[in-house]
């Protein structure tokens, strides 16, 4: 765990973000329980140091791990904690939307995904979001399989933001029969 430490003078102290990276690697390799253990340690450090960004990232990763284990209630709690720490994060909103979608909460999913889409567009325009937020639009399209009204609203909102998005146009045409 050498890479999980930082040196400041002669004092060595754990670095929450370095531990988060190690936990993400473990989770990617399928070692979710080990990742959860490291994430709890990283969260404790982030809280002690007052690092709110690290806290949000760690809560999000905890949520993803719980989601991977099929523990959607616990995942939802972690995503909500991440959102409480950083309420202006499209990623937090996206994660909340997907867990609601996974649990069958279509209204909650739509509410969070629409907000995520709008916020991602603002982040993208300000240069804070590295990629085009099309992944958020695609998540909204998933709703069309389950809720016609919510999907129509989501797609129309998406077309206002991205008027030439071919997949959005195609999905809206299929949904409305025009």
Calculate Rg over the CA atoms of the chain.
19
Is-contact 141 113, C-beta < 8 A? no
pLDDT digits (tens, 9 = 90+) for 118-162: 887 777 777 765 455 555 555 555 554 445 566 666 677 777 777
14 and 81, same domain (yes or no)? yes
Question: If you average pLDDT over residues 101-106, what whole number do you get?
Answer: 80
Decide if 57 contacts 20 (C-beta within 8 A).
yes
pLDDT at 22 over 90: yes
Q: Judge if 47 and 128 occupy the same domain.
A: no
Please give the residue range of the domain that contains residue 10. Answer: 1-87
Last residue of a domain, one of 28, 56, 87: 87
Average pLDDT (19-29) is: 92
Rounded Cα gap, residues 10 and 150, in angstroms = 57
The predicted-structure confidence for 29-54, as pLDDT tens digits, reads as follows 999 999 999 999 999 999 999 999 89
Residues 73 and 154 occupy one common structural domain: no
Does 129 share its domain with 81?
no
* Domain-embedded: residue 67: yes
Q: Looking up tokens 């990283």, which residue turns up?
A: 42
Residue 96 lies in a domain: no
User: pTM for this one?
Assistant: 0.66
Report yes or no on 92 lying in a domain.
no
Top-confidence residue, 139 or 98: 98
Are residues 73 and 138 both part of a single domain?
no
Q: Does residue 153 share a domain with residue 83?
A: no
């Amino acid at each position: 765990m050498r890479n999980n430490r930082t040196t400041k003078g002669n004092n060595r102290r754990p670095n929450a973000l370095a531990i988060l990276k190690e936990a993400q690697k473990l989770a990617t390799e399928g070692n979710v329980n080990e990742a959860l253990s490291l994430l709890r340690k990283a969260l404790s450090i982030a809280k002690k140091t007052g690092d709110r960004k690290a806290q949000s990232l760690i809560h999000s990763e905890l949520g993803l791990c719980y989601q991977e284990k099929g523990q959607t209630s616990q995942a939802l709690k972690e995503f909500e904690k991440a959102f409480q720490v950083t309420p202006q994060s499209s990623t937090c909103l996206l994660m909340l939307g997907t867990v609601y979608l996974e649990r069958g909460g279509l209204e909650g999913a739509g509410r969070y995904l629409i907000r995520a889409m709008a916020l991602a567009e603002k982040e993208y325009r300000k240069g804070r979001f590295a990629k085009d937020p099309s992944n958020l639009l695609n998540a909204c399209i998933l709703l069309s399989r389950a809720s016609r009204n919510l999907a129509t609203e989501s797609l129309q909102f998406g077309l206002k933001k991205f008027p030439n998005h071919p997949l959005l146009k195609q999905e809206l045409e299929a949904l409305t029969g025009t």
